[in-house]
Structure 1
Amino acid sequence: MVAPATLALSSCAGLAPASVAGRSRRTRQLLPPGSLYSQSTASSRPNPCHLRSSRPLVFSPAAVAVDSDQSGSSQPAEKEKPMRYYFVVANAKFMLDEEEHFNELLSERLRLFGERNQEQDFWLVIEPKFLDKFPNITKRLKRPAVALVSTNGPWITFMKLRLDRVLADNFDADSLEEALDFNPVDLKFEKPEKWVAPYPKYEFGWWEPFLPPGNTKTSS
């Protein structure tokens, strides 16, 4: 069985123009000759088919592309803030050869960090370059100088009180390498003629495990 064919017509197709024209003729027949309305109505009556626009909506690709690019753009990443470093400093003779407790304090702290799996945050720097930023300190120092540097401010305050004869301050640096940069120097300490302490004197070079990378060897 074949389904009956159907023809779908829009409201403005086929017979619509003829019906409109028929109504116009009947209107002219009912009006008296010479009527102004009879002369102008047919020509001025709008075509219903023209009232509905058949033009499709057009989107501007350029505008869409610009909006897409703007919405997908990301703000540049903010620059990381410099790290604050704290230090105590004194001449190398006092820090490495005369201060009896300095070795013990650093060794105990390094052992504690190892037991807790903490990353080391303190270093000894011989002739650090950052001292050039502190003329009020350098004019009071004998050279060569040694600084204990750390990112832990309270601990450096404790070390200043513990060592006593040291100077303290802080500075900012963009990297650890910049903070621990140094001027190469050979250290030489005279051995005392008579050692009166009940324990043996620390060996020369005991401080090398606490030096930053690249400064791990000193002369005797």
Structure 2
Amino acid sequence: MVRPPARPDGRAPGATARQGQPNQRGRTAAGAAAGAAAGAAGAAGATRTPEPTPAPAPPPDPQPSVGSVTNLPLPRFAALRSDEVNLRAGPGTRFPIEWTYQRRELPVEITREFELWRRIRDPEGTEGWVHQSTLMGRRSAIVRGAPSSETALRRRPEADSPPVARLRPGVVVRLRQCELRSAWCEAQAGEYRGYILRSEVWGVSADEEVK
């Protein structure tokens, strides 16, 4: 039986957002208190001016269909190249690190490109930017399901084929081949090799071909 690590998403245990930028308030608590007192004193004879109606937020940028750097399709899947990959708030080292992934071959989805940086989405939906050198094209997928469930890796791409292994949610498998529009993918988990349904993993689209 192949079992997952403690964190299926591959993030460092206890990882939190880092404070990478100075405080933007620009004044101390004492100054704020003095300012509040002065404002209260002058408010007695003041006429309140109605606040303007805020302008509506602009709509989000549409999802591009191809990368601006590689011209490859977007979104597309890739995998983490090493056991330490920093997820940043923006495309550059000047942006703070939000997470550090510690799981090689964790599948991710590339959604944007900017120079040498790629915006990714992980299996839990968290998004951020990583350097393109931390990604690889070799494909993987992560087993989905309830915490106590198991997914069969079968000998043949058939629902009644005997299992060669039973995989717990969070196990990362290497995708060896997915035929176009087939419901099954040939996959490998450790020393076990067999077939798994696309619908039981995250890291491959419904009708994608993987060679």
Alignment TM class, shorter chain as reference: under 0.3
TM-score in terms of structure 1 length: 0.18
The structure with more strand, counted as a fraction of residues: 2
TM-score in terms of structure 2 length: 0.19
- Which has the larger Rg? 1
